[in-house]
Structure 1
Amino acid sequence: MRILLAPDLHCHQTNYGRMLPSGEHSRLVEWRETAYAMFEVAKAKGVTHAVFPGDFFVTARPSPRQVLEVGNLFRMFENADIEVIGFPGNHDLPGIGQTGPCDLVAAMGHVMLRWAVNKPVVVGINGVVFAVLPSVKPAALNAEATDPTEAAQQLSSALLDIAQSLRAQCPENCPKILCGHWTIGGSITSTNQVLGGTEPQLPLGELLGMGFDAYLFGHIHKPQVLHEKPFVGYAGALQRCDFGEENDPRGCWIIDLETGSHEWVDLPAREFRTCLVYEEELPHLIEKPQDIAAFTGVKDAIVRVKYKATEEQAKQVDGGAIIKALQDADAHHVAGIFPEIIKSERTREAGITEGTSPIQALETWLKGQDMGAHLKGLVLSTAEELLEEVR
């Protein structure tokens, strides 16, 4: 038996894109191409079950088109005899007790519960048992603490108790998989950060002690393996959401339950590219802005330009010419040009000390300024009047 761990679908990102002549958004087309590539991988690799671990959508109010896209994808898997199990993530949750978009996706399937399992439950599908921990609103698990850290700890404890209860319901004569949409202790984000104490976390050691044959999770967008055998890991997200995920691979995991091995397969998601212009390269960019297109990987990518410059150099950078050069090089979208201004340090006047009076300090400063004697006199007299008024 071979299990596909799909990434968070997030159908679909609407940032950094454009409307195409067909009337579709470019990032929806990108999403569909990547999702269908994943389907072809599943068929080629002999996948028997596909796990979609939450966050089908970007928000809990997706468009009808987005709901149809996810439902159609699941139907493709089922029609190819690949069993689908999915469940909501935190982005999919409406208010407590309300029908959410995942429920609509489930209603499109002939096996309704499996496409969007909306509560902790054990589901058996063709010889594999899945213990499901979908994302829920904290209030649904009675995490009533007013302090965010305490609330996270209460929720983590409740989730562990639920997972243990689900494990007790699993038969022993078949593979058992725990899947959910939560943070596992030790996982890191796309920016290589460990999530803080306000995020509910499931300790890896306690999960391993439950004795499942694999642990397939969503929620963290950086693909990673936290334990080899049994497999514990995340597949990330189907698309890159922003530049914070620029260096993350995009793909899916295939877990072989018989051998305990796992394989990563890359998927053709849109690339993000940051063109970093270093200080020594800036004069060339000012003189020949069209050369920005020589950066590797600009074609078909979502691109931004970052550079360091003095205030005077920044005035000489032709942003319009840079954007045109990137567009001519077939960049999919130019996200912007972002200068980091190097502030010039002011030198301290040698004759000014802590004992210098304000008027004396002003006179010293005025000596170095390019203004006439009349204007300098006006500045001094005005300063004396202000100081007298303060006194």
Structure 2
Amino acid sequence: MRILHTSDWHIGRSFHGHATLDALRGVLEALVAQVAQLRVDVVVLAGDVFDSAAPAPACYALLTDTLAAISDAGARIIVTSGNHDSAARLGFQSALLREGITVLTDPGAVGTPVTVHDAYGPVHFYGIPYLEPAIVRHRWEGVELRSQAQTMNHALGLVRADLAARGGRSVAIAHCFAAGVEATPGVEREIRQGGLDVVPLPAFDGPDYVALGHIHGRQQLSERVRYAGAPLHYSFGEADKPRGSWLVELDAAGLTGVEWIALPVPRRLVTLRGTLAELLEDARFAADEDAWVCAQYTDPTPQIEPMRRLQRRFPFCATVVHTPVGAPAPDGLDYSGRVRAARDDAELFDAFLSHVRAGEGATDAERALIRDVVDARTVAEVRA
């Protein structure tokens, strides 16, 4: 059996204020083509189908089109909900879906598999939707569920118990932080890391393969426990992470191999660094003019309208950050402290310039001009 493991589509997510729906549609069309070309039997989507609990109508349309296309390509598809999804909205039509498309969002069904047969017999797919301890603990009385780790341990215990009774090969699908993952700061949000909310690897013992979601970059925690990551880049912190899916193969005895299947990247993400003049004019940045750009300009002082000026050269400049090089070391004073320390009007001007210029006060030429203005004002006041 051939299984394609994907996750974290985040349909409806924006990228620094830019819509990503059309780009994601193109990537998912490539995924459908891979399903047909590679003769995939089952596609598993491990949570975070949508980016929000109340997605726009266009997001539902993209999901419907993609699931139907995967089915038309000859594969079964099994979908679970993630922490970004509304399980109720994602699963409310599950009973009406066409044969071969299964959406699993009910925590009460954990431990009951979707069984798919191949030439060697049954393969049991155990879908585990995202389980928020405070919400699901009432479903299992007498079990302490105060953390993600405890909740996932209990859910996978139900999987192992059912598998022991059924026998055969199996795949678990879940959405969580597993011990040993490297998260992208600011990207995989809303499931806390550290302490009791990290699920230890032994919790995943039992199934032949564990398809995880939530981490946006591919990661291999063991030969049989992996994250596929998101099919699209949603942060500059993900720029160096490849996009794709895992192709998992099972034979009569279980797992025989796992292969990375890359997906196209609609537009590269780059972080460019230099003075604003260098970013605007230097030929070394010419190859990046059609990329998504995070511009870090290093001028000692803030520059006027850097985003507008950069977008003339880089139409897809998405964010601009001032990271000064060579600026004076902080003096420990806030603006009010600088004002109080000023001994005359000229130093008051200098305090203001230091505040708005990240610590750099007036230049020698500016100080001379300020002194002339202050002196002229003083003469005028005396004469009056």
Report the TM-score when normalising by structure 1.
Answer: 0.73
Q: CA deviation at 1:54?
A: 0.8
Secondary structure in structure 2 of the residue aligned to 1:40: helix
Residue 180 in 1 paired to residue 174 in 2? Answer: yes
Pair 1:56–1:291, CA change in 2 (3 A): same
* Percent of aligned positions that are identical: 23
CA contact (8 A) 1:178 1:215 kept: yes
CA distance in 2, matches of 1:319, 1:134: 41
Q: Per-residue displacement from partner, 1:242-261 (whole Å, max 9, x unpaired)? A: 22222221111001112521
CA contact (8 A) 1:289 1:318 kept: no
Match of 1:21 in 2: none
User: Equivalent residues in 2 for 1:41-56 (5 A)?
Assistant: 41-56=34-49
Pair 1:253–1:81, CA change in 2 (3 A): same
Q: CA deviation at 1:216?
A: 0.6
Pair 1:113–1:76, CA change in 2 (3 A): closer
CA distance in 1, matches of 2:329, 2:73: 66
Secondary structure in structure 2 of the residue aligned to 1:129: strand
Residue 196 in 1 paired to residue 186 in 2? Answer: no
Q: CA deviation at 1:219?
A: 1.0
Stretches of structure 1 that go unaligned for 5 or more consecutive residues are 19-24, 144-150, 328-332, 348-357, 379-391
Residue 165 in 1 paired to residue 158 in 2? Answer: yes
Kindly provide the amino acid, as one letter, of the partner of residue 202 in structure 2: G
Secondary structure in structure 2 of the residue aligned to 1:260: strand
Kindly provide the amino acid, as one letter, of the partner of residue 196 in structure 1: Q
CA contact (8 A) 1:16 1:302 kept: no
Secondary structure in structure 2 of the residue aligned to 1:91: coil
Secondary structure in structure 2 of the residue aligned to 1:114: strand
Match of 1:109 in 2: 97
Q: Per-residue displacement from partner, 1:66-110 (whole Å, max 9, x unpaired)? A: 11211221122222221111111111126xxxx323434x35522
| RMSD (Å) for aligned C-alpha atoms | 3.5
Partner of residue 202 from structure 2, selected from 195, 200, 205:
205
Residue 125 in 1 paired to residue 121 in 2? Answer: no
Residue 12 in 1 paired to residue 12 in 2? Answer: yes
Secondary structure in structure 2 of the residue aligned to 1:92: coil
Partner of residue 82 from structure 2, selected from 78, 89, 93:
89
Pair 1:251–1:16, CA change in 2 (3 A): same
Secondary structure in structure 2 of the residue aligned to 1:110: coil
CA contact (8 A) 2:12 2:52 kept: no
Stretches of structure 2 that go unaligned for 5 or more consecutive residues are 139-143, 332-339, 351-366
Pair 1:138–1:111, CA change in 2 (3 A): farther
CA contact (8 A) 1:12 1:31 kept: no
Q: Per-residue displacement from partner, 1:338-369 (whole Å, max 9, x unpaired)? A: 2223532489xxxxxxxxxx99x959x97x97
CA distance in 2, matches of 1:93, 1:292: 48
CA distance in 2, matches of 1:240, 1:298: 18
CA contact (8 A) 1:277 1:306 kept: yes
User: Equivalent residues in 2 for 1:250-269 (5 A)?
Assistant: 250-258=243-251, 260-269=256-265
Q: CA deviation at 1:275?
A: 3.8
Pair 1:102–1:247, CA change in 2 (3 A): farther
CA distance in 2, matches of 1:40, 1:153: 43
Q: CA deviation at 1:16?
A: 4.3
Secondary structure in structure 2 of the residue aligned to 1:212: coil
Report the TM-score when normalising by structure 2.
Answer: 0.74
Equivalent pairs counted in the alignment come to 329
Secondary structure in structure 2 of the residue aligned to 1:276: strand
Match of 1:33 in 2: 26
Match of 1:235 in 2: 228
Secondary structure in structure 1 of the residue aligned to 2:84: helix
CA contact (8 A) 2:54 2:86 kept: no
CA distance in 1, matches of 2:284, 2:293: 10
CA distance in 2, matches of 1:287, 1:79: 51
